[in-house]
Amino acid sequence: TQGQVITCKAAVAYEPNKPLVIEDVQVAPPQVGEVRIKILFTALCHTDAYTWSGKDPEGLFPCILGHEAAGVVESVGEGVTEVQPGDHVIPCYQAECRECKFCKSGKTNLCGKVRSATGVGVMMNDRKSRFSVNGKPIYHFMGTSTFSQYTVVHDVSVAKIDPKAPLEKVCLLGCGVPTGLGAVWNTAKVEPGSNVAIFGLGTVGLAVAEGAKTAGATRIIGIDIDSKKYETAKKFGVNEFVNPKDHQKPIQEVIVDLTDGGVDYSFECIGNVSVMRAALECCHKGWGTSVIVGVAASGQEISTRPFQLVTGRVWKGTAFGGFKSRTQVPWLVEKYMNKEIKVDEYITHSMTLGEINKAFDLLHDGTCLRCVLST
């Protein structure tokens, strides 16, 4: 198949919110600096649903969504040196080129090399898509497009992993789990003995809890409007639970009262701007730090009294938990293999690519954390 167009099945999003269509898609060979991957497993993340909803200003249609996956390299384009056919890999929506201003800064995991292309659904080389259906181009998504049996990505967006790792599990290390762990370890840098509040107990919030527990946090307060979330959350380290619906007072006041003035760290893992405000305002005066992890829709804005920051609270955000993707995803895979981090526990459902619309329905059902599709 090397050097040839591959025809395979992919789930195409033609329009916002219209059911995805399983199509025969043509996948062009990888060009210079590109890698064609046979995707074996892909999970669904809330961000896929967000873009599909039409609220993402970077959402383009028709496109192939999906960004949390694992597979095997099928072929590589000219100049690709770090992976070869047969390598087991995880596509990384957050690239790492190790050469750009961002990568060299030592201050961020964001990479500037291919972002201008991945934000508009094309490849860097020729600003074109490698996907088409009957000659009509289909946009890429987040530089990954994993809801497809084959995809083409930039070489700076591929992490080569241990071939012994179970791909049906470690696909989760492409987004949600690292994001939560890294928000705690890299972005907030939670110290032992800290009090932590986590808003939203989906996969990302639970991974924050796991990260906080391993960082030695004492009180790990989970906040969710669905009280059923507490049972599962306990297994990830949440040791107190608050449902905002059980209280008359604003949730930030409830947390401040519970914690003698506020928490040391809070995390917003929902994508709701009024909760982002509450998450900041439940932080302790003088040092409390709030990390925004949730993705909010186009047009949404955050607000608070500047006095909140003047009096020492800190507002931050995180993308992929601050992890350097190509370097650290393989390290996270090793941590999983050594049983130092959970992955299996986040997988509540398994289906096939053909059942993807059913899997999206599940995403809005409180019982689903991650649904893994075999392609």
Catalytic positions are 45-47, 67-68, 97, 100, 103, 111, 115, 175, 370
Q: Which bin fits 288, alpha (ψ -120 to 50), beta or left (φ > 0)?
A: beta
The residue count for the chain: 375
Closest distance between ligand AHE and the C-beta of residue 9, in Å?
23
How far is Cα 356 from Cα 362, in angstroms, rounded to an integer? 10
Number of residues that bind ligand AHE (CB under 6 A): 12
Q: How far is CA 317 from CA 202, 274, 294, 321, 364, in A?
A: 18, 15, 9, 9, 24
Nearer to ligand AHE, 58 or 257 (CB): 58
Cα four-point dihedral sign 122, 128, 132, 138: positive
Instruction: State the number of CA atoms in the 13 A half-sphere of 158 facing the CB.
Output: 28
Interface with ligand AHE includes 175 (CB under 6 A)? yes
**Binding partner at 294 among ligand NAD, ligand AHE, Zn ion, none, C-beta below 5 to 8 Å by kind:** ligand NAD
Question: How many whole angstroms separate alpha carbon 294 and alpha carbon 201?
Answer: 11
- Region 30-69 residues binding ligand NAD, contact defined as CB under 6 A: 45-47, 50
Residue 290 token pair: 């709030």
Q: Which of 200, 222, 237, 330 binds ligand NAD (CB under 6 A)?
A: 200
85 exposure class (CB count in 10 Å sphere: 0-12, 13-18, 19+)? middle
Q: Which residue has the tokens 């009090």?
A: 195
Q: Please, are residues 37 and 47 in contact by the beta-carbon 8 Å criterion?
A: no
Q: Which of the choices ligand NAD, ligand AHE, Zn ion, none does residue 225 contact, using the CB cut-off of 5 to 8 A by kind? A: ligand NAD
Q: Which stretch binds ligand AHE (CB under 6 A): 52-60, 70-78, 207-215, 334-342?
A: 52-60
Nearer to ligand AHE, 11 or 76 (CB): 11
Residue in 279, 117, 89 with CA at minimum distance from that of residue 198:
279
Q: Cα 349 to chain center, whole Å?
A: 18
Q: Does 271 bind ligand NAD (CB under 6 A)?
A: yes
CA–CA gap between residue 25 and residue 62 (Å, rounded): 12
Instruction: Determine the residue with CB nearest ligand NAD.
Output: 202
Q: Which stretch binds ligand NAD (CB under 6 A): 189-197, 212-220, 221-229, 337-345?
A: 221-229
**Selected binder of ligand AHE within 320, 323, 346, 360 (CB under 6 A):** 320
Helices (H) and strands (E) in the chain, counts: 12, 17
Q: List the one residue from 26, 42, 75, 94 that touches ligand AHE (CB under 6 A).
A: 94
Of 250, 273, 255, 274, nearest to 265 (Cα)? 255
Residue 47 binds to ligand AHE (criterion: CB under 6 A): yes
Q: Does 45 bind Zn ion (CB under 5 A)?
A: yes
In whole angstroms, the minimum distance from the beta carbon of 221 to ligand NAD comes to 12
The partner in contact with residue 8, picked from ligand AHE, ligand NAD, Zn ion, none with C-beta cut-offs of 5 to 8 angstroms by kind, is none
Task: Choose the one of ligand NAD, ligand AHE, Zn ion, none that binds residue 196, judging by a C-beta under 5 to 8 angstroms depending on kind.
Answer: none
Write down the least CB distance from residue 268 to ligand NAD, Å.
8
CB 163, CB 187: distance < 8 Å = no
Smallest gap from Cβ 182 to ligand AHE, in A, equals 11
Do 260 and 284 contact (CB within 8 A), yes or no? no
Count of chain residues binding Zn ion (CB under 5 A): 3
CA dist., res. 283 & res. 191, Å (int): 15
* Residue 147: both structure tokens together: 């809801």
Give the footprint of ligand NAD on residues 291-330 (CB under 6 A): 293-295, 318-320
175 binds Zn ion (CB under 5 A): yes
Cβ closest to ligand AHE, residue 58 vs residue 162: 58
Name the amino acid, one letter, at 286. G
275 makes contact with ligand NAD (CB under 6 A)? yes
List interacting residues with ligand NAD (CB under 6 A): 45-47, 50, 175-176, 179, 199-205, 223-226, 229, 244, 269-272, 275, 293-295, 318-320
List interacting residues with ligand AHE (CB under 6 A): 45, 47, 56-58, 94, 110, 115, 175, 295, 319-320
